[in-house]
Amino acid sequence: MKLEIRNLNKCFKKKQVLKDINLTAESGKCIGILGSNGCGKSTLLSILAGVQKCTEGEFFCDGKDMFRNPRLRSELIGYVPQGTPLIEELSAKDNLLLWYSREELEKELSQGVLQLLGIDEFLRVPVSKMSGGMKKRLSIGCAVSKHPPVLLLDEPSAALDLACKKDIAAYLNEYKKSGGLLLLTTHDSMELELCDQWYIIKDGVLVSYEYDGNTDNLLNNL
């Protein structure tokens, strides 16, 4: 899978949030999108996921135009936003049944992605009573129901405890090893180490960054 973003722009009224964003990435890689709060990271992912529209620009997966083919995009791309895209009144299982058939659900819980995420441990818990880590793992489980080759994650481990961060990082590493392509926004050192390439959005412009493990240097560049 080859992902290409070409000359992508986004304006909100008179303010240009994203300016000629260009990015190419391939299967088996994790791309980290960094930047200060409000720089446009979340906006970029939501545009690629089809939640928002860009002002202009193109987005391709293996040469296929994602902006012109929303059905194909929903098959190829999974999206985990910062918020919780879950139905609060329903249990984990009932939320999952909106995405999986019963047969698929049982299979994934016993030996698949949902087992890797540990969702089998809180199947009967209503979303309204879940911890932040449970909600995030469940959100990821829903997003990958169609086994998409591309996964977009907006700060997946923000505000989570260390144990949950490790669980999510372990799953993302397995996803990458299996040939998946990850595009994530993050400031978390554990997720930064998972990335193969790093980019910073500053003043709406996407620039390449060479992360050397020094978070102080990174913060000085945001």
DSSP symbols for 27-91: TT-EEEEE--TTSSHHHHHHHHHTSS--SEEEEEETTEESSS-HHHHHHHEEEE-SS--S-TTSB
122 belongs to a structural domain:
no
Q: Does the residue 91 lie in any domain?
A: no
- Residue 123 counted as domain residue: no
Report yes or no: 176 and 182 within 8 Å, Cβ to Cβ: yes
- Measured in degrees and rounded to the nearest 5, phi and psi for residue 212 equal -110, 15
Instruction: Provide the pLDDT for residue 61.
Output: 97
Domain for residue 142, yes or no? no
Cβ burial of 136 (10 Å; 0-12, 13-18, 19+) is buried
Q: Is residue 99 part of a domain?
A: no
Asked whether residue 42 is assigned to any structural domain, the reply reads yes
**What's the confidence (pLDDT) of residue 157?**
85
The answer to whether position 155 is within a domain reads: yes
Q: What is the CATH number of the domain that holds 215?
A: 3.40.50.300
pLDDT in 10s for each residue of the chain, 222 residues? 999 999 999 999 889 999 999 999 999 999 999 998 889 999 999 999 999 999 999 999 999 999 999 999 999 999 999 888 899 999 999 999 999 999 999 999 998 999 989 999 999 999 999 999 999 999 999 999 999 999 999 999 887 888 888 888 899 999 999 999 999 998 888 889 999 999 999 999 999 998 887 777 777 777
Instruction: Say what the pLDDT of residue 188 is.
Output: 83
Structurally, how many domains does the chain consist of?
1
Distance of CA 214 to the CA centre of its chain: 24
Residue the block writes with tokens 């977009």:
152
| Within-domain flag for 121 | no
**SS3 of residue 124 by DSSP:** coil
Q: Which domain holds residue 38?
A: 2-86+149-221
